[in-house]
Amino acid sequence: MSDLWLELEYELPGSGERIDALLLGTDPDGTLVAVVIELKQWDDAEPGPLSSVLVGGELRPHPCRQAGGYMRYLRTWISPEEVALQVRGLAFLHNAERRVVDKLGRAVAGKQESEVALVCHEDVADPAGLRRLAERLSWPRLTAPDAALVDTFVNARHLPSFDLFDRLGNVLAHDSDFVLVGAQQEAQLHVLRGIRRALRDGGRHVIAVRGGPGTGKTVIAVRLVADIPEQGGNIRARYLTPSGTLRKQLIRAAEDPAAKGLFVHAGDYSRRSPSREVLLVDEAHRMDTRGPGDQVAALVRSTRVCVFFLDERQIIRPYEGVTVDHIAKVAEAAEATFTQVDLKTQFRCAGSQYYLTWVDRLLSREGRPEEWRGDDYDFDVAAGPDELQAWVEDHSVNGAVARISAGFCWPWPRPRSQNALRNDVDIVYVDRRSGLSVRWGHPWNSRHAFTEHDGSIVPVKEFWATDPGGHRQVGCIYTAQGLEYDYSAVILGPDLVRRGACWEGRPSESHDPAMHGVTPDDYVVLALNIYRVLMTRGTRGCRLYSTDAETQQYLEGLRRST
């Protein structure tokens, strides 16, 4: 074994993932063998729900599932024509006892993850156990790999197999959340026509797809990931997004560990990817514009077809700011054909265009909306945070997905205990029924998943908007943007207040480090965008409350007269 090739922290290109250790050797017929090794320092763990384990009460991925995902990636992304490769896996809990490993092994028995050898320190300390492990992984038959073969592996192009796109297409075909309707289908066809032109004439094509909340930008982008390979020409697609939350949601929805490489954080995109790859950049308005390099220009130069999906009114940080005009100028400089597609029909907010227009007027700089008169969307102003909470809990009990979100106006400290939430969002207000001051508190969305003492699950922040237990936490712009749920309760913090006929931004009230040093004039634009995003997450209804008394009075004045 000492002659085998070993790489620690081996990076899977384009995925942002690293394998703890990767061993390479050759078997007797000269085939390269890769052994994926997942290392854990845990001394104790219990099987948890959804292929997870409980470590100190915190939910973590099962180590066999992690190693199995890396194995699936290597099998799917490295072409056998380029490198004939056998892949095996090992999860090593070097501080755990046999009883712990046995429990975790039973949890994956009969599942695909069971192909991963799960061992503890006793297995490698005992000569008989070590022999059994070596036989399972075929180590005795492995020899040092040829240097040229290792170089071929290290420099191999990581391309998703077309089987992966087929599997993704099958998943999407059976998921109603990814069905395209009307104008969305037209936008999809427009992009596909651009791809066919690029294949035919060899030039570069840049497409900007602009649309407001609920117009289906993400749905179109994800559908195109599966549909583009069907166009022929040996062309593939890659989905990029600056949103870590959205990326993790889509990877889970794809139901395939190998799909991690298809859904990439925009900052992790590898320039090693081939030019015959279509880049689908979702949430493009959130791309970082800092630094000497232009991220949009770099993406356009790296491929022949680049599609940007954006909503310029969802720019939420001072160093974001990609617009359609900027994309068009980049395309012109790259001598690329530029086209723009505008999505106007929205399918969120009960399909109410009136509500979206009303929100746009409310959260414009001057903010001059009329009284709310809509009858096709459930909107109202709540009297206090307790009323918001009761509204959310009532819908949650009845099976709907309801969430509370707020401006980033309260600290988000690291928890003192790994398995406890604290009421970070702390509001003191006057109860109108009693006339007394009342304190209301709720925790921010959690930095990690765990189970509480009563057995209820606290989801990690990336799944706050979708998973059970999220209604007991408060989300923020970073965990809500790009997602939707049935009912949205929104707390306007003291960072955005109404004074006279205008909105005022108060960056000093923000606890978002990204807002440090932002002027009030610049901040008010960002704050209006942030609350616009939060108010347009609910597909069926929204409740609004402001912690500022004067602003709350203004909002209540816009309620429907009774």
| pLDDT value of residue 171 | 62
Can you state the angle between helices 98-107 and 63-77, rounded to 10 degrees?
A: 60
Structure tokens at 250: 């889509």
Kindly report the average pLDDT of the chain as a whole number.
85
pTM comes to 0.77
Buried b (16+ CB within 10 A) or exposed e, 437-449: eeebebbbbbeeb
Lowest mean pLDDT among 62-66, 261-265, 304-308: 261-265
Residue 390 carries which side chain, given as an amino acid letter?
A
Q: What's the pLDDT score for residue 294?
A: 82
**What is the chain's alpha carbon radius of gyration, rounded to the nearest angstrom?**
26
Pairing outcome for strands 17-26 and 538-546: unpaired
Element (H, E) at 118: strand 117-120
Q: What would the two tokens of residue 10 be?
A: 């081996």
**How many other CB atoms sit within 10 Å of the CB of residue 1?**
13
Q: How confident is the model at residue 562 (pLDDT cuts 50, 70, 90)?
A: very low
How far, in whole angstroms, is CA 167 from its chain's centroid?
20
Beta pairing class for 52-55 and 46-47 = antiparallel
% of the chain at pLDDT higher than 90: 38
Q: What is the pLDDT of residues 237-281, one digit of tens each?
A: 889 998 888 888 888 877 777 777 888 888 777 655 446 788 999
Query: Does the 162-343 domain belong in CATH 3.40.30.10?
Result: no
444: pLDDT confidence band, cut at 50, 70 and 90? very high
The CATH code of the domain at 5-154 is 3.40.1350
Q: Where are the domains of the chain?
A: 5-154, 162-343, 349-556
Closest residue by Cα to residue 323 from 302, 296, 298, 303: 296
Contact 217, 347 (CB under 8 A): no
Residue 168: band (very low, low, confident or very high) from pLDDT cuts 50, 70, 90: low
Indicate the pairing of strand 378-381 with strand 538-546.
parallel
pLDDT tens, position by position, 91-147:
999 998 989 999 998 988 888 888 898 988 888 777 777 777 777 777 667 888 888
Do 5-154 and 162-343 come out as alike in CATH topology?
no
pLDDT at 516: 93
Amino acid residing at 403: R
CB atoms near residue 432 (< 10 Å): 10
The region of weakest confidence among 1-15, 296-310, 327-341, 378-392 is: 1-15
State residue 394's pLDDT score. Answer: 96
Out of 22-26, 341-345, 483-487, 519-523, pick the least confident. 341-345
Residue type present at position 434: S
Task: Indicate whether 360 pLDDT > 90.
Answer: yes
